A = this chain, B = another copy of it.
Amino acid sequence: MRVTQLFTKTQKQAPADEVSKNAQLLIRAGYIHKEMAGVYTFLPLGLRVLENINQIIREEMDAIGGQELKLTSLQDPEIWKATDRWDDQKVDIWFKTKLKNDSELGLGPTHEEPLIRAVRPFIRSYKDLPFLAYQIQTKFRNEVRAKSGVMRGREFLMKDLYSFARTEAEHDELYAKIQKAYANVYDRLGVGDDTFLTFASGGMFSQFSHEFQTVCEAGEDTIYLDRKKGIAINEEVNNDKVLSDLGLKREDLEKVNAAEVGNIFTLKDKFSAPLGLTFVDEHDKDQNVLMGCYGIGPSRLVGVITELLGDEKGLVWPENIAPYKVYLVRLGEDDAVIKASDELYEDFNKDGISVLYDDRDARAGEKFADADLMGIPYRVVVSAKTIAEGKIEVKKRTESDSALTTTQEFKKTFTKAS
Contact residues in B for A114 (Cβ distance below 8 Å): 35, 41
Give the oligomeric copy count.
2
B70, B100, B140: the one contacting A50 at CB < 8 Å is B70
Contact residues in B for A97 (Cβ distance below 8 Å): 95-97, 107
The reply on A69 being an interface residue by CB < 8 A is yes
Q: Mark A95-134, 1 if CB is under 8 A from B, else 0.
A: 1111110000101000000100111011100001001010
The reply on A186 being an interface residue by CB < 8 A is no
Contacts beyond the supplied A44-B133, A99-B154: 17 A-B pairs with Cβ under 8 Å: A5-B65, A7-B67, A9-B122, A30-B122, A33-B118, A35-B74, A35-B114, A39-B72, A39-B74, A43-B69, A44-B67, A47-B69, A47-B70, A72-B155, A73-B140, A95-B97, A97-B97
Contact residues in B for A121 (Cβ distance below 8 Å): 9, 11, 33
The reply on A144 being an interface residue by CB < 8 A is yes
Contact B72 A118 (CB under 8 A): no
Contact B95 A69 (CB under 8 A): no
Contact residues in B for A43 (Cβ distance below 8 Å): 69, 118
The reply on A42 being an interface residue by CB < 8 A is yes
The reply on A142 being an interface residue by CB < 8 A is yes
Task: Give residues 59-109 of A contacting B (CB, 8 Å).
Answer: 65, 67-76, 95-100, 105, 107
12 contacts between A and B (CB under 8 A): A5-B65, A7-B119, A8-B122, A33-B118, A35-B118, A36-B74, A36-B105, A40-B72, A43-B69, A47-B69, A95-B105, A107-B107
Q: A5-B131, A11-B121, A95-B97 are in contact. Are A41 and B71 (CB under 8 A)?
A: yes
The reply on A246 being an interface residue by CB < 8 A is no
Q: A7-B119, A7-B131, A67-B44 are in contact. Are A100 and B39 (CB under 8 A)?
A: no
The reply on A257 being an interface residue by CB < 8 A is no
A4 to chain B, nearest CB (A): 8
Contact B73 A138 (CB under 8 A): yes
The reply on A364 being an interface residue by CB < 8 A is no
Contact residues in B for A117 (Cβ distance below 8 Å): 33, 35
B39, B74, B122, B138: the one contacting A154 at CB < 8 Å is B74
Q: A47-B69, A50-B70, A68-B47 are in contact. Are A76 and B7 (CB under 8 A)?
A: no
A102 to chain B, nearest CB (A): 11
A355 to chain B, nearest CB (A): 15
Task: Give residues 236-268 of A contacting B (CB, 8 Å).
Answer: none
The 4 A-B pairs with the shortest beta carbon distances in the complex, nearest first, are A33-B118, A42-B70, A7-B131, A95-B97
Contact residues in B for A6 (Cβ distance below 8 Å): 67
Contact A41 B69 (CB under 8 A): yes
Contact B73 A155 (CB under 8 A): yes
Tell me the complex Cα distance, A47–B136, Å.
12
Residue of B nearest to A40 (CB): B72
